Amino acid sequence: MIVISAEMIGDRAGWEGCLPCRFRRLDEGETYSAINSDSAGSTVSGSIYVVDGSKHICVANAGAPEDRIRIIVRWCQVRHDLAPAGPGGNWEATGYVRCGDGWREVPVLVTPVRKELFSRTRGLFENDMLAEKSVFVAGLGSVGSVVAVELAKLGIMNMVLMDHDRLEVANVIRHVAGLSDVGRYKVLAVADAIHEKNPHAKVETCNRKIAWDTYDLTRQYVRRSDLTICTADGREGRLILNKLCVEENKPIIFVGAFRRAYGGQILLVIPHQTPCYQCFLQALPENVIGQEAPDGEQAPAYSDRPMEAEPGLSNDIAPLGQMVVKLALQRLIEGKPTTLQSLDEDLVASWYIWLNRREAETGYSELEPLGFHVNGMHVLRWYGVDLSRDPACQCCGDFVRHAAEREGFEVTAEDMATFTTSEVR
Ligand SMILES: [Zn+2]
């Protein structure tokens, strides 16, 4: 079997010529596919030779000398016994695989990828609604990689991925990329995984770390995107992204798992409407921030610190990614008439907590067992926290005025001008 997409020839009605292309060799040579042949893996060269149906063409003359695969496509009058129909008529495709000095004829599957890809999700919402949206995913670890691929499956057609890490064997069990991707930059492995699901998605990758030296670059990514999702480790990168999103007035979702993934939390920031990440940090009790140990293993339950070594089960991390995607989707289609619109009334919290278990030596060890309870905090349920913005927030609030009032001195408008947020780093 040889597989090609209808788009490769469908909009070329009446066109004649030769299209060189790459085919992935699969199933020990039983299958060759030109769909998504840009993804990693070995490919062989081939040609799609398109001619008018009335002309005779011999396979030996229909392509380049190095071809391993050749397909002859003949345009025909519209005939209902030939499928699939292209916009300009029908075609008949015959495939050949090089076999010694000759060619072996094999069937060709011509499949309309673009049309079929989201055909079964129609009715939930119009996928085209998301085609113009752009999402920036910072951090492509166990949560970020799943989120990025899930977004592509929703029909998000524009994505920027940023992460400086390469994939290690220990990551694989919780990551969308597999062992064959070990050693690769995570962003490139995830871009391939996205294209496996949605070959038409435009994915830009950046293998640098979010830090002050990538500040301006990161701002460009934030500015160009409708939504930023931060799954990256590290307080500094998170604060930088928070600051950029507040300045650019763009929503951002932060997600982090607690140690050994006994739970996790998500913060949705809509600048100047909901608490920003800095407000969130300021809302944590001071003794909690003070207690934060240098490694995530010792971090308290409600710390924002992600675990460093990802020692959780994939199953325990999955709920975090799925909730991030749900919140992201809801932001991107907000106010649109879809079957998901009622969720706007449900997902009103800006801070969500999930617990996989009643972890010993945490504030949650004495929680009431889940049982049949519906009220209050329990394991294996999302718990929304009503968190307020801090009017004196250093990032999204009026920090200088509040500090002046607290300390009892006056600040003039001129003084204030020297404290514009874009100047403070
Ligand atoms: Zn704030």
CA of 176 to the centre of ligand 1 (A): 33
> By percentage, how much of the chain surpasses pLDDT 90?
63
pLDDT of 160: 98
Collapsed DSSP state (helix, strand, coil) of residue 26: strand
Contact 246, 273 (CB under 8 A): no
- Judge whether residue 149 has pLDDT over 60: yes
Q: What is the pLDDT of residues 223-246, one digit of tens each?
A: 999 999 999 988 999 999 999 999
pLDDT tens digits, 102-133? 999 999 998 888 888 888 777 676 667 899 99
310 and 256 Cβ atoms separated by less than 8 Å: no
Q: For residue 88, what pLDDT is reported?
A: 46
Does 311 score more than 70 pLDDT?
Answer: no
Query: Residues within 5 Å of ion ligand 1 by Cβ?
Result: 276, 278-279, 393, 395-396
Report the separation in Å between the CA atom of 279 and the middle of ligand 1, taken as the mean of its atom positions: 4
**pTM for the whole thing?**
0.86
Torsional class of 258: left (φ above 0), alpha (ψ -120 to 50), beta (otherwise): beta
In 107-260, the DSSP E strands lie at 108-111, 134-138, 158-162, 202-206, 227-230, 252-257
Which residue from 329, 338, 337 is spatially nearest to 133, judged by alpha carbons?
329
> Does residue 321 carry a pLDDT above 80?
yes
Taking residues 238-260, report their average pLDDT.
96
Rounded Cα distance, 331 and 350, in Å: 12
Q: Between 213 and 410, where is the model more confident?
A: 213
Q: What is the DSSP string of 121-133?
A: TTTTS-THHHHT-
Phi, psi of 14 (to 5 degrees): 80, -10
The string of pLDDT tens digits covering residues 338-373 is 889 999 999 999 999 999 999 998 889 999 999 998
The pLDDT of residue 289 is 45
CA-CA distances (angstroms) from residue 162 to 187, 191, 208, 228? 6, 11, 7, 11
3-state secondary structure of 193: helix
Q: How far apart are CA 400 and CA 416, in angstroms?
A: 7
Q: Which helix (H) or strand (E) holds 236?
A: helix 235-248
Residues 189-196, mean pLDDT to the nearest whole number = 96
Which residue carries 């619109």 as its tokens? 341
Give the separation between CA 247 and CA 220, rounded to whole angstroms. Answer: 12
Residue 290 has pLDDT above 50, yes or no: no
302-313 mean pLDDT:
54
Least confident of 100-104, 212-216, 245-249, 291-295: 291-295
The total of other beta-carbon atoms located within 10 Å of residue 257's CB is: 27
pLDDT above 70 for 302:
no
Residue 295 has pLDDT above 50, yes or no: no
Residues 54-86 pLDDT 10s: 888 899 999 999 999 999 998 876 555 555 555
pLDDT at 219: 98
Amino acid making up residue 310: E
Q: How confident is the model at residue 313 (pLDDT cuts 50, 70, 90)?
A: confident
- Helix (H) / strand (E) element for 300: namely none
Domains of the chain in start order, with CATH, are 2-115 (no CATH), 128-385 (3.40.50.720), 391-425 (no CATH)
Is 384 a residue whose pLDDT tops 60? yes
Give distance in angstroms: CA of 243 to centre of ligand 1.
9
- Look at the block and give the residue holding tokens 């998504």: 36
Average pLDDT over residues 328-335: 94
Contacting residues for 201 by C-beta, under 8 A, at least 6 apart? 152, 156, 157, 158, 159, 194, 195
Structure tokens at 324: 């991030």
Compute the mean pLDDT over every residue in the chain, rounded to the nearest whole number: 86
d(CA 304, CA 292): 9
Tell me which of 32 and 299 has the higher pLDDT: 32
- Give the pLDDT of residue 375: 86
In which band, very low, low, confident or very high, does the pLDDT at 404 lie, cut at 50, 70 and 90? confident
- 391 Cα to the center of ligand 1, angstroms: 8
Check: CB of residue 181 under 8 Å from CB of residue 159: no
275 C-alpha vs ligand 1 centroid, how far in Å? 5
Q: What is the DSSP letter of 421?
A: G
- Distance (angstroms) between ligand 1 centre and the Cα of 267 equals 12
Cα 234 to ligand 1 centre (Å): 18
Measure 237 CA to ligand 1 centroid, in angstroms. 16
